[in-house]
Amino acid sequence: MVDQSELAWRMLCRKYKADLCYSPMFHSNLFAKDPKYRKDALQTCSEDRPLIIQFCGNDAETILEAALLAQNYCEAIDINLGCPQAIAKRGHYGAFLQDDWNLLNEIVKTLHSNLKVPVTCKIRIFEDRDKTIRYAQMLEKAGCQLLTVHGRTREQKGPLTGAADWSYIREIRENIKIPMFANGNIMDLRDVQRCLDETGVDGIMTAEGNLHNPALFTGQTAKTWYMATEYLDYAQRYPCPISYIRGHLFKIFHHILSLRPNANLREELAVANGLEKFRRVVQKVQQKYEPYHEGLKPYGKEEIDPSVLIEEHEYNMCLPPWLCQPYVRLSPEIHKQIVSEKARLAEDPSRDKRQYYDNEGKEISRKRMKKLRRRFRRPDKPEGKHDRHLENCRHCCCNPLGFKCVFRLCRICCRDRCYSENFDCLGHGILIKSRRAKAKLYEDTPRKDSDLTEEEKPEDGLAHCKRTNQDELRDALELISQS
């Protein structure tokens, strides 16, 4: 999982019975060429085993170079052939290599022949079952020693994700001999056993289900604040970028933050930039929902925030929102119906325009309604005021001072001081002293006549008058001859 299976998250998952973890997907070219990228990527420890390091790329030698640098830190090297995102299409890697079998054969063979650890692959299926089976057999023959099959096509992503088809996985399992993992539709522990029974694979991989509930493999429905606190403890022990932490907490608290009364919590989490601020958000969630969980207070269903695009279905909120649980997207069919209905209404000239009302029941414009919704999501933000808190210039008291100004003045006052006192200010880019010194130096070193060419030498006054008279006389003679 790109930017989401860092060391802190892997250690949390291992605590809750994840037998094998994968690194985030690393770009093979950057990993091989950029020492800083490689150092940041190879975050691991002795307890982080077994580990498979995953690469993407489209050149066999480059992927091999990266894998050779990583093989001492893991038990296997994985080639990601399943990423369906637009960036993978632009970079020509991931699932967008599945049509170039010659290149994939070369990549897998090269790694299999030169690495001391096994080579594994993760793929997506084709719509054609026979082609999918031949695809898996080609990778097996090239040297792939463990195959993970995601039961969705390359086009099944975002709102068109839909359900994974395990029947494809079962047919592949029956036609190859190497170990196999299944991926897709794993939302809880019951899905794990059901997938093993229906496909006959050797192991189960989960991504999104794990992000919403890292204790998935234990069958627990843990309290969100308890799981978030444990993750923050690991993040403190194994530091990672703030964006990773924020992303994980948004997944864990997904159902809580989708409720309208929790708009302030969502905003606070979005702007948090340190572990202590993240912990304060977790404490507020716990303080609000723990009395409900303990039965000290009755819980009434809270309204879903209208700014969050969620269709209410029973399978989205089968548990109280404060418990870790998966998020289930709408089916592609329902999504297509919604899109087509919106398009039909937009093209209908006789349609009634949607009316908007404020809290007092007065009709307002759509633009005004959007503004009110933004204000509701950020109630603590003062309306019409600048966000930045800048110190004013002590001379004029009306303009903000430049933080890089050597005199701690605004630009106008700084320029006046530089002119009057002959100074430079690099912060504002005002170079009065330097330019005056340069001009004075130019004046003090005139060029000698001996260094000038004939064209550059100035002529004296008498020569200038003679040349002028001659020109005027020549012009007069030309006029006479023409007349």
Q: How far apart are the first and last CA of the chain?
A: 93
Confidence at residue 317, expressed as pLDDT on a 0 to 100 scale: 47
Contact indicator for 258, 304 with CB cutoff of 8 Å: yes
324 in catalytic set: no
Contact indicator for 49, 29 with CB cutoff of 8 Å: no
**Does residue 170 share a domain with residue 111?**
yes
Residue that is last in its domain, among 155, 187, 221: 221
Give the Cβ contact number of residue 48 at 10 Å. 17
How far is residue 1's CA from residue 24's CA, in Å, rounded to a whole number? Answer: 5
Q: Which of 13, 83, 410, 413 is catalytic?
A: 83
Confidence at residue 109, expressed as pLDDT on a 0 to 100 scale: 97
Confidence at residue 316, expressed as pLDDT on a 0 to 100 scale: 45
How far is residue 183's CA from residue 202's CA, in Å, rounded to a whole number? Answer: 12
Confidence at residue 471, expressed as pLDDT on a 0 to 100 scale: 62
Confidence at residue 176, expressed as pLDDT on a 0 to 100 scale: 96
**Does residue 197 share a domain with residue 135?**
yes
Q: Is residue 95 part of a domain?
A: yes
Confidence at residue 452, expressed as pLDDT on a 0 to 100 scale: 53
Confidence at residue 263, expressed as pLDDT on a 0 to 100 scale: 87
Q: Give the count of domains, the chain.
A: 3
Residue at 129: amino acid letter: R
Confidence at residue 462, expressed as pLDDT on a 0 to 100 scale: 47
Confidence at residue 313, expressed as pLDDT on a 0 to 100 scale: 45
Confidence at residue 24, expressed as pLDDT on a 0 to 100 scale: 95
**Does residue 264 share a domain with residue 162?**
no
Confidence at residue 377, expressed as pLDDT on a 0 to 100 scale: 63
Residue that is last in its domain, among 221, 256, 291: 221
Question: What is the block-wise mean pLDDT of the chain (483 residues), using blocks of 10 residues?
Answer: 92 96 95 93 94 96 97 96 92 94 97 97 96 97 97 90 93 97 93 95 94 93 95 96 95 93 91 93 96 91 65 56 87 81 76 73 82 70 54 78 84 88 88 88 66 52 52 58 55
**Does residue 421 share a domain with residue 305?**
no
Confidence at residue 307, expressed as pLDDT on a 0 to 100 scale: 52
Confidence at residue 461, expressed as pLDDT on a 0 to 100 scale: 47
Query: Rounded to an integer, what is the distance from CA 258 to the centroid of its chain?
Result: 21
Q: Is residue 203 part of a domain?
A: yes
Confidence at residue 98, expressed as pLDDT on a 0 to 100 scale: 94
Q: Is residue 456 part of a domain?
A: no
Confidence at residue 473, expressed as pLDDT on a 0 to 100 scale: 53
